[in-house]
Amino acid sequence: MKALLNFLPSENRNEVKKHLMSLVIFRFTNFLVVLLIIFGAALFGIKFLFNQEISRIQIEQKTVEAQSKDAENIDVEDAIKSLNKRTGRLEAIQDSSIYWSLTFNRLFSIIPQGITIINIDINGLEKTGTLSGKASTREAYYQLGNQLQSSSYIANAEVPISLLKTDIQFSISITFTKDFFLYET
């Protein structure tokens, strides 16, 4: 390029030098401006990411503070009382359920030969019942009374006295033990 400039007249040579110098300065300025724009965009992106992270940390901190306030508001004693009430309700439901097949097997194992049961009324909540039926003989009826009173599943049996010798109609009030209604075999 210098060789070409030497062939130009000196006036034109200075103009071309100025023009080339301004072109170099212009390109260098453009390069710096583009570099500053890229650097500014990078800084803006970093600032944006930092702001998002700071917001996330603040939200987490508020959540933790809210949870700790809620944890402080929970009264342990009230929670235990509530749990005990629910457990008591479950126990009441469980205590009121009756395993009928096992219950009838226990009752019928006590009843001797010669007894016909016509009606059984059982109140599981009060643990009482009534046994109605017919005894073929007085001996079978007395044996039924003895079996009921000696059974470990019956707390009390009110067996009325009968003067009949055969075909005795009866209705016996019974108070059962708690074991009578348990599932354990």
Categorize the per-residue pLDDT at 27 as very low, low, confident or very high, splitting at 50, 70 and 90. Answer: very high
* Amino acid identity for residue 107 in this structure: L
In terms of pLDDT, which residue wins out, 168 or 90? 168
Alpha helices in 74-114 (DSSP H): 76-96, 100-110
CB-CB neighbours of 148 under 10 Å: 20
Categorize the per-residue pLDDT at 164 as very low, low, confident or very high, splitting at 50, 70 and 90. Answer: confident
Categorize the per-residue pLDDT at 97 as very low, low, confident or very high, splitting at 50, 70 and 90. Answer: low
pTM across the whole model: 0.46
**DSSP characters over 112-165:** -TTEEEEEEEEETTTTEEEEEEEEEEHHHHHHHHHHHHH-TTEEEEE------S
Q: Of 5-9, 84-88, 99-103, give the lowest mean pLDDT range.
A: 5-9
pLDDT above 70 (res 2) = no
Cα–Cα distance between 174 and 158 in angstroms, integer?
6
Q: Of 9-13, 49-53, 140-144, 161-165, give the lowest mean pLDDT range.
A: 9-13
The average pLDDT across 160-167 equals 83
The pair of three-digit structure tokens given for residue 112, joined into one six-digit string: 């001797």
Those residues whose C-beta lies under 8 Å from the C-beta of residue 185, and which sit 6 or more positions away, are 102
**Mean model confidence pLDDT for the chain:** 83
What 3-state class would DSSP assign to 99?
coil
In terms of pLDDT, which residue wins out, 93 or 33? 33
Categorize the per-residue pLDDT at 124 as very low, low, confident or very high, splitting at 50, 70 and 90. Answer: confident
The average pLDDT across 24-49 equals 91
